[in-house]
Amino acid sequence: MKIAILPGDGIGPEIVAQAVKVLNVLGESFEMETAPVGGAGYEASGHPLPDATLKLAKEADAVLFGAVGDWKYDTLERPLRPEQAILGLRKNLGLFGNLRPAILYPELANASTLKPEIVSGLDILIVRELTGDIYFGQPRGVRECPDGPFKGQREGFDTMRYAEGEIRRIAHVAFQAAQKRDKRLTSVDKANVLETFQFWKDIVTDVHKEYPDVALDHMYVDNAAMQLVRAPKKFDVIVTGNMFGDILSDAAAMLTGSIGMLPSASLDANNKGLYEPSHGSAPDIAGKGIANPLATILSAAMMLRYSLNKQEQANRIENAVKKVLAQGLRTVDIYEEGTTKVGTEEMGNAVVKALA
């Protein structure tokens, strides 16, 4: 199995190196090839997503991605900015299914803004459709308002739309993810107001017939937002559209309070995926050896589970992470009094040791 390793910029190379170290001690024979992306791609060949990098990502069975971006590229024209590499990869690899777990290890319960008893042990997964919805629907723009009380004024407008096949494929991703967890799926919509999301609800209900082992319920997005902060542990897997997923997944991530801990995956129709930490390239701490590598290491675990079909190895990594947290090891972002502060490499080494 071939893994494309794309470290990127800022803390990307430091944290990806730790995940590679972890993959190397699993006793599997992965072929790993590294290529520049983002600002590093621009420096190497004048484009954030060099042709050779895209070719490697296409050939590989999975992509492990660090992070891209640095303030020094902010003056480049938009198509050459590092962040364009992520959009290019999503588009070229057809990555429509975004999986974002929000996990709060009991040892880190104090990091959350919610009361520990509400969030301690939280383990939910948000499946967000990534390439459709009002973010991409046409037509859109600014025009002269054609009717109503504001007729003749300028108005901004966008189009919310979802094709049946688009809903079916993300529903399959979500049901299959639920099968690998607690087998409960909540589909979040706004069917009481939006035609698009009544249609969404009908199609998800239809796809459910193929997954009788998964319990499905439906929830309006406003209620889902409320329940996420009231009783987040009641959820197992949530599936929703691009815009609702954008908002809910950030809210869920912040429930955990620790940005350096959250992995993510973006999948295509065949479960090939790109795996990356939810955080960015953190230029403010790059090169200091203090970044938390756990989100990237946990992204590698997701890669094993969802793209490489190595459940047991994924569990091993996740258990090793739990073990180092139980040992009291903390990078600066999750440090609190009474624990032991460690750097990026020490944390990576501790996970490797815990695996043994």
Note the residues at the interface with ligand NAD (CB under 6 A): 11, 15, 67-70, 83, 86, 259-260, 276, 279-285, 291-292, 295, 331, 333
C-beta of 188 vs 351, nearer to ligand NAD = 351
User: What is the distance between the alpha carbons of residues 175 and 207, in angstroms, rounded to a whole number?
Assistant: 9
The residue among 160 and 247 lying less far from ligand NAD, judged by its C-beta, is 247
Is 246 among the residues known to form the active site?
yes
Q: Annotated catalytic, 190?
A: yes
In DSSP notation, 184-249 reads EEEEEE-TTT-HHHHHHHHHHHHHHTT-TTSEEEEEEHHHHHHHHHH-GGG-SEEEE-HHHHHHHH
Q: How far is the CB of 283 from ligand NAD (least distance, A)?
A: 6
Nearer to ligand NAD, 245 or 280 (CB): 280
209 assigned to a ligand binding site = no
The distance of closest approach from Cβ of residue 125 to ligand NAD in the complex, given in angstroms and rounded to an integer, is: 19
Residue 67 or 324 having the CB closest to ligand NAD: 67
Sole residue written with tokens 């960015």: 280
Active site residue 135: yes
Q: Which of 190, 201, 272, 310 is catalytic?
A: 190
The answer to whether the annotation marks 13 as part of a ligand binding site is no
Task: Report the residue number, 47 or 168, with the smaller CB distance to ligand NAD.
Answer: 47
Please give the Cα distance from 230 to 131 (Å, whole number).
30
> Which tokens go with 110?
């104090």
- Among the options 123, 158, 246, 268, which is catalytic? 246
C-alpha–C-alpha distance, residues 168 and 221, integer Å: 19
Place of tokens 């091993």: 316
For residue 86, how many other CB atoms are within 10 A of its CB? 23
Q: Shortest gap between Cβ of 213 and ligand NAD (angstroms)?
A: 34
User: Minimum distance between the CB of residue 7 and ligand NAD, rounded to whole angstroms?
Assistant: 11
* 2 appears as a binding residue in the annotation: no
Q: Is 286 annotated as a binding residue?
A: yes
Helix (H, G, I), strand (E, B) or coil at 175: helix
42 phi, psi to nearest 5 deg: -60, -45
The answer on whether 222 is annotated among ligand-binding residues is yes
Residue 88 marked as a ligand binder: no
CA distances from 181 to 53, 124, 174, 185, 280 (A): 33, 9, 11, 10, 27
- Secondary structure (3-state) at 111: helix
> Would you say 248 and 95 are in contact if contact means Cβ atoms under 8 Å apart?
no
Task: Establish whether 78 is an annotated binding residue.
Answer: no
Residue 8 beta carbon to ligand NAD: minimum distance, rounded to whole angstroms: 6
Instruction: Please enumerate, by residue number, every residue annotated as part of a binding site for substrate.
Output: 90, 100, 128, 222
Residues annotated in the binding site for Mg(2+), as ranges?
A: 222, 246, 250
Catalytic annotation, residues: 135, 190, 222, 246, 250
| Residues of the binding site | 90, 100, 128, 222, 246, 250, 280-292
Binding residues for NAD(+): 280-292
